[in-house]
Structure formats: C-alpha cells, structure tokens
Structure 1
Amino acid sequence: MQITIDDKIIYFNVQYSNRTKIEMVIDPSGHITVKAPTKTPPEDIFRFLKSNANPLLKLYKKLENREWISSNKSYNHEENFLYLGKPCKLDDLLEFVPETDEEIQLQLKKFYIAKTKEIIKKRVKYYEKIIGTKAKSFTIVESSGTWGTCNSMNVLTFNYRLSMAPMSAIDYVVIHELCHTFHMNHDRSFWRKVGSYDLNYKENEDFFKKFGGVMTI
C-alpha cells in the first residue's frame, strides 16, 4: 500500500492480527509495516500514518535513493523482484519478457522454481556432509505457509520462492530442515543443533518474517 504525505509517496505493508491498537514498525532496511487489529478500516490506518508524518518524512529523505519492493507486482519494467535478496527488474531475470501479465507471471514462476531447485540441490548436498545426515529426497513446492518441511521419512520440501532470499537465509532453511532428521519437533535440542551450524539463525529466520510478504510474483 502507499500514502502521500507532503507530495512524497511512502510505501508500507499492513499486517492484521488480534491486537488492540495500531503500531508502526520500521525495520533496519527501511521497510514499513503497519500492524493493525483485524478489520481495521483503511482510513484509520491512513489517519494513523499521517499522525506520524514527521518520522515518515525523515525516513523518506534517508531512503529516497533505495529500491522499493512491492508485495503486489505490476509487471512493468520499473517493478522490482527479489532474487538472492537483491531487487531485480524483469529484464534481469527473464531472457524474454512476454506481453501479458499472466505469461510474465508464469515465466517468473518457472525461473524461480528452476533457480531454487538448482540452489537447494547444492546446499542440501553440502550441509548433509557437514551435519552428518542424509535426506531421502527433496522437492520444490508452492506453499503460502512454509519455507521448508521435513517428514518422518526424511523427505524434504522447499518453497519455490526461496531463491528470492539471500544465501544466508536459504542456508538457514536447509539447515533447519536437515536438523529435523534428528529432531522432528522444535525443542531445545533441535534449536541447539540448528545454532551449532548457523550462528545467525535468529537473524536469518527474521528475514522471512520481515520480507516474506514481498517475496511474491
């Protein structure tokens, strides 16, 4: 979403939940998230943002030269799409950009599936040796709720959108799922094992909380 304050267009995302008041969160990269109670009218959110005009305008001045990543893509040549954590244009990702939005979206999905499969294959093999385990197999899937899974048969799945994340965050998901071959739940032993192979796993986990909403096609 976006709001105009003093002729400046400021972009933000909204997260609805069972809360009692509206709150604004600005992460270190400058992305704005408005956390609002469920069914909050848009006009209340805009009113809240206008009441915080000064910090928003200061942020705009600081970040006006940065690239913006939208959660709702428009498929024009100015739109940004994430790849390995960096904003890219359509021309950077596709050899040929189709004419229709539907075909562009289809080609983007094929691109991310192929890249994610290529990356995951290498990283699973790499971390299997380090962790001392073996996955039975892995597949690349479309999921709105998870970035990776591991079942009791040691079959792994990975979200095709993972290649939108930085390599450190991708590695975290790989490590996370491989550690589930030892611990199927998320008890202390599991997190100790994850932490022994990824010292920054909390920061990498936070990446998906902060940017998962804009990792879209």
Structure 2
Amino acid sequence: MEIILNDKSISFQIQYTKASKFNLDFSPEGLITLKAPKKSTMEEINAFMKSNSKVLLKFEERMSNRTYLSSVKTYESDENFLFLGKVHKLSDLLSEIPETEDGVQEALKKFYTAKTKEIITERLAIYEPIIEVKAKGFKIVDSPATWGTCNSNKQLTFNYKLSMARLSAVDYVVIHELCHIMHLNHDRSFWRKVGMYDKDYKTHQEYLARFGAFMTI
C-alpha cells in the first residue's frame, strides 16, 4: 500500500494482528510494516500513518541516503554485496579478490555456498526438534526460481544465495521446507503449520520478494 505524506509516496504493508494497538516495524532494508488490529478500517490506518508522518519521512530519508546496493555488479573491491541481510564490501567477504570477473563470481559462489550450508545445518538443528520432523538430508543448489524445496523422500534443497538474506528470512525458508515434510502442497493445513512456527511468515515472504533481486553475484 502507499500513502502520500508531504508530497512523498511512502510504501508499506499491513499485517493484521490480535493486538489492540497499531505498531510500526521498520526493517534494515527499508521495508515498512504496519501491524494493525484485525478490525481496523482504512480510515483508521490512514489516520495512524499520518499521525506518524515525521517518523515515516525521517526513515525514508535515511533509507534514501543509505549505501547504494545494485543488482548489477562491477566487481571492484568496494562493490557492495549482501550477507545475512547486511551490506558488505567485496573485500570484506573475500580475503583475496581474483583478477577476472568470472574468478570473482566463482569465489563468491563458493563463499555463499559454504556459508549457506553452515547456516542451514545450524537452523535445521534448531527447528527439526521444535516442529518434530526430520529431513533425510539437504543440498545447497543454484536455483533461479526457488529458495528451497522438499520432495516426498524428505530431501531438502536450499538456494546457495540464501545466506545473503537476513536470518529471520532464512528461518522462514527452513520452517517452510520442514513443514512440507508433513504437507507437500500449499493447502490451508500447510500454512497453518508454517504460521505456528513463524507468525511473521508473510513479512518474510515480502522481504524475499522485494529484495531477492539484489541477492546476486
């Protein structure tokens, strides 16, 4: 959704909750989420957003002045890349920077693949006992279309770029795939299960959809 404040368009998403009050959530990447009571009207939502115009405009100004992150890379040492939702210079991620673009891409792919494997191993160890399921194994893959998959043999895959995302979004993907062990489709039972272990899963979906284009090498 959008609201105009001082001639500036502010984009935000609404998450309806059981709480009795409105609450604003700001992600480090610039995503604004309004957590609103279930029966809130659009008039009440707009009134709340306008009453917080100073906070919203200040946040948007800070985001407009943040370090620029492009989906098209130059592969210079000061080029920006994501790791766990934060911006890092190429020189921070690679101790030695190859001379060619192909070499840099290969080194970055190895870096993210290794980090994603470490993180997924850790997060599975946390969530498998909680959800009371056990995957038979997992692989880190280069997938242009998915963040993760689960097949009928309880074998999971995870996109090697997943370590570029913030940890809460990684957790969502892990929870999503573990829930597929019990429900292979995306029916209501599946989403209820996901919601049991990640109440903000819609926010994490939005995050991945919005910033996935910047999770590149």
Q: TM-score, normalised by structure 2?
A: 0.72
Unaligned runs of at least 5 residues, structure 1: 1-23, 32-57
Superposed counterparts of 1:141-180, under 5 Å: 141-180=141-180
Deviation (angstroms), 1:101? 1.1
Q: For residues 191 and 120 of structure 1, what CA distance do their matches in structure 2 show?
A: 21
- For structure 2, the 5+ residue unaligned runs are 1-8, 13-25, 32-57
1:188 lines up with 2:184 in the alignment: no
Q: Which residue in 2 is equivalent to 1:51?
A: none
Contact 2:141 2:160 in 1 (8 A): yes
Offset from partner CA, 1:46-89 (integer Å, 9 cap, x none): xxxxxxxxxxxx99854453112111111012311000000000
SS in 2 for 1:161: helix
Matched residues, percent identical?
58
Q: Which amino acid aligns with 1:189?
A: S
Cα-to-partner distance string for 1:174-198 (whole Å, 9 max, x where unaligned): 0000000000111111001001001
Aligned pair count reads 168
CA contact (8 A) 2:82 2:164 kept: yes
Task: Measure the CA separation in 2 of the matches of 1:80 and 1:164.
Answer: 12
TM-score (structure 1 length as normaliser): 0.72
Q: 5 Å matches for 1:65-214?
A: 65-214=65-214
Provide the rounded CA distance (Å) in 2 between the counterparts of 1:196 and 1:210: 24
User: In 2, Cα distance between the equivalents of 1:68 and 1:173?
Assistant: 26
**Shift of residue 25, structure 1, vs aligned partner:** 8.6
> Judging changes above 3 Å, is the alpha-carbon distance between structure 1 residues 26 and 70 closer, same or farther for their aligned structure 2 residues?
farther
**CA distance 1:66–1:123, shift in 2 (3 Å):** same
Corresponding letter in the other structure for 2:147: W
- Kindly provide the amino acid, as one letter, of the partner of residue 126 in structure 2: Y
How far apart are 1:132 and its partner, in Å? 0.2
| RMSD (Å) for aligned C-alpha atoms | 2.0
Task: Using the TM superposition, give the Cα deviation of residue 162 of structure 1 relative to its aligned residue in structure 2, in angstroms.
Answer: 0.2
SS across alignment from 2:105: helix
- Secondary structure at the counterpart of residue 135 of structure 1: coil
